[in-house]
Chain A
Amino acid sequence: MPPLPTVQTPRSTPLVRLGHSLGALPEGWRLVVFSMLVTTVLWFLGNARVQGEPSLWRGPSLLLSVWSVNLMSVLLLASVRSRWIEPLFGGLDRAVRLHRTLGPVAVLIMVLHTLLYVPMALERGESVGDLLIPFWSPTARNSLSLIFIGLLVGTGLAYSHRMRYERWLSFHSLFGLLFIVTSVHAVSNGVTIAAYEPLRFWMWLLILIGGACWLYRVVLYRWVHPRYPYTVRSVRLVGKDTVEFYLRPQEERLLYAPGTFVFINRPGPSGRDWELHPFSISSSPTERDLRLSTRIVGDFTAGLKTLQPGERIDVFGPFGGFTPHRHARFRRLVCIGSGIGITPFLSMIRFEASNNDFRRIWLWYVARTQDDAPYDEELRNGVESADSWVDYTLWLTTERERLTARHIFEELKEFDDFAVMLCGSPAFIRGMARQFLDAGLPPNRLIAEDLFFH
Chain B
Amino acid sequence: MGELETYVLAGRLDGLNASEHQRALEQMLSSHPAGVVLDMTQLDYISSAGLRVLLVATKAARAGGGDVLLKGPRNEVREVLEISGFDKILKFAD
Contacts and interface: CB of A to CB of B under 8 A. Distances in A.
Q: Give me the 7 closest cross-chain CB pairs, A-B, nearest first.
A: A387-B47, A389-B48, A331-B83, A358-B80, A389-B84, A360-B83, A360-B84
Interface residues of A, number: 13
17 contacts: A332-B83, A356-B45, A356-B47, A358-B45, A358-B48, A358-B80, A358-B83, A359-B83, A360-B83, A360-B84, A360-B85, A385-B49, A386-B48, A387-B14, A387-B47, A387-B49, A388-B47
Contacts of A332: 83
A389 B79 CA distance: 13
B15 interface: yes
A283 to B, nearest CB: 19
Contacts of B4: none
A335 to B, nearest CB: 15
Nearest to A386: B48
Nearest to B84: A389
Interface of A: 331-332, 353, 356, 358-360, 385-390
Interface residues of B, number: 13
Interface of B: 14-15, 45-49, 51, 79-80, 83-85
Contacts of B46: 358
A237 B80 CA distance: 39
Contacts of B80: 358
A331 B83 CA distance: 7
B83 A390 contact: no
A387 B83 contact: no
Given A358-B80, A388-B47, 14 more contacts: A332-B83, A353-B15, A358-B46, A358-B48, A358-B83, A358-B84, A359-B83, A360-B85, A387-B14, A387-B48, A387-B49, A389-B51, A389-B84, A390-B48
B15 A385 contact: yes
Contacts of B84: 358, 360, 389
A385 B19 CA distance: 12
A388 B48 contact: yes
A390 B79 CA distance: 16
A355 to B, nearest CB: 9
Contacts of B48: 358, 386-390
Contacts of A353: 15
A332 B84 CA distance: 8
Nearest to B45: A356
Contacts of A359: 83
